[in-house]
Amino acid sequence: MRYPSIKALLFTVLSLGFSLTGLADNPYWADFGDKPVYVEQSNGRATNKLKLIDFKDNMLVTEMTLDGNLAEMSLPANESLFKTLQFNLPEMQKANNLIRNDNYAGVVKLLRPVVYPLVKFSQVPELFTQLHSPLRTLIDSLISSGQLSEADDLLSRIPLDKVDIKYSQLAIKLMGSYFAENDYSAAARIARNLPKSGDYTANITQVVNAADELRGAGQYDAVIPLYREIEKSVPDAMRKNMRMWLAYSLVLANRVDEASPIIDDMQEPESKDQLFSLYKLLQGSREHRNGRYDDALDVLTRGFVRAQTSYVWVPEMLYLIGDCYEQAEDTIAAKNVWSEITVLYPNSPWATRAAESLSQLPTSNPLPVAN
């Protein structure tokens, strides 16, 4: 048996955009990834069996048998072609039954050997739903069954900016699972890799939400490059907002020297502008980071009175106000502010931080009772 050379293997890996690390981390790819994919093509009364070889330049490269001889053909990947193709996986019916019973691990075990070969053809147009549906079902089942690293590996082999946004939605689901496990570096990586322009602008909201969660969890080194990436993709109306969050994260990461030119280059919004309170949060956080707690409290308070409770930055603004009070040894005021966060914003990561800070406040001693 002849084996391909190391050079040939390396070329294949690089040309397909796969990482050597990903290949090593997923043993199933070596077992199933290179299995052949067969489809049937009906032309009138005749039906031919095609072996899919490659997809490039919007052409589906196939191998078929004609009169007992192998022939290679390049077929234009258009609606007319896909009307003639039939790709059936008998396993899908059983997989759907397993999904109805929430047996996602069973779906993975069933589909893994027959669906892995489809990954190589993920860029085939979405018109060929018979191919994409099993592939997305496998990835979704991997995520639902907690097999995140394998799902991550498969998604890393699919160019998200060249396939249907439904694959991005799977990546977003995987990102959410990583957040649930507090794996912030993996979540941030997925957020950075999500396409954000053209047909994928719907991803921007999810990326912004991910940045908010990373910032709330104190993952400033992860969120700073993410904000820089978002800033390139968001509409002009949102760009100033993203620059504010970038500067704010730099401040919280003790990178005030990097943040200051961004802050100083900004023009203060009018007091009736929604971004006014965010701007005051930015200024106040810099004062807070520099240890000027009285100045920080003044700036933050002026921003807070102009804010609405629905603004996403209000919980962290309140948190810093509470910390300014705590630094001034006004524990009653600090307790009141932090308690308000836990009541009004219980699902905010800042509520968790406020609860932790409350637990560290000194317990006041009761007054002695007169006899």
- Whether 59 and 78 have beta carbons less than 8 Å apart is answered as no
Length of the chain: 371
pLDDT surpassing 50 at residue 23:
no
Percent with pLDDT over 70 in the chain: 91
Q: What is the mean pLDDT of residues 90-115?
A: 96
DSSP string, 302-322: HHHTT--TTSTTHHHHHHHHH
In sequence order, the 6+-apart residues with CB closer than 8 A to the CB of 42 are 84, 86
C-beta neighbour count of 147 within 10 angstroms? 16
Half-sphere exposure of 88 (CA within 13 A, CB side): 7
pLDDT digits 0-9 by tens, 317-328: 999 999 999 999
Name the more confident of 290 and 101.
Answer: 101
In 3-state terms, what secondary structure has residue 97? helix
- Whether 252 and 219 have beta carbons less than 8 Å apart is answered as no
pLDDT digits 0-9 by tens, 333-369: 999 999 999 999 998 888 999 999 999 998 754 444 4
pLDDT surpassing 70 at residue 5:
no
Confidence of residue 111 (pLDDT cuts 50, 70, 90): very high
In 3-state terms, what secondary structure has residue 118? helix
Residue 43: the pLDDT is: 76
Residue 367: the pLDDT is: 45
CATH superfamily assigned to domain 267-361: Tetratricopeptide repeat domain (1.25.40.10)
Helices of type H across 60-201:
79-84, 91-100, 104-115, 129-144, 148-156, 165-180, 184-193
- Whether 147 and 139 have beta carbons less than 8 Å apart is answered as no
- Of 104-108, 112-116, 278-282, which range is least confident? 278-282
Residue ranges of domains in the chain: 189-265, 267-361
Global pTM value = 0.76
pLDDT digits 0-9 by tens, 159-184: 999 999 999 999 999 999 999 999 99
pLDDT digits 0-9 by tens, 66-98: 777 777 888 888 888 888 888 888 999 999 999
Average pLDDT, the chain: 86
3-state DSSP helix/strand/coil percent for the chain, to nearest 5?
A: 65, 10, 25
- Of 290-294, 302-306, 308-312, 336-340, which range is least confident? 308-312
- Whether 111 and 137 have beta carbons less than 8 Å apart is answered as yes
Distances (CA, A) of 43 to 26, 49, 72: 39, 11, 17
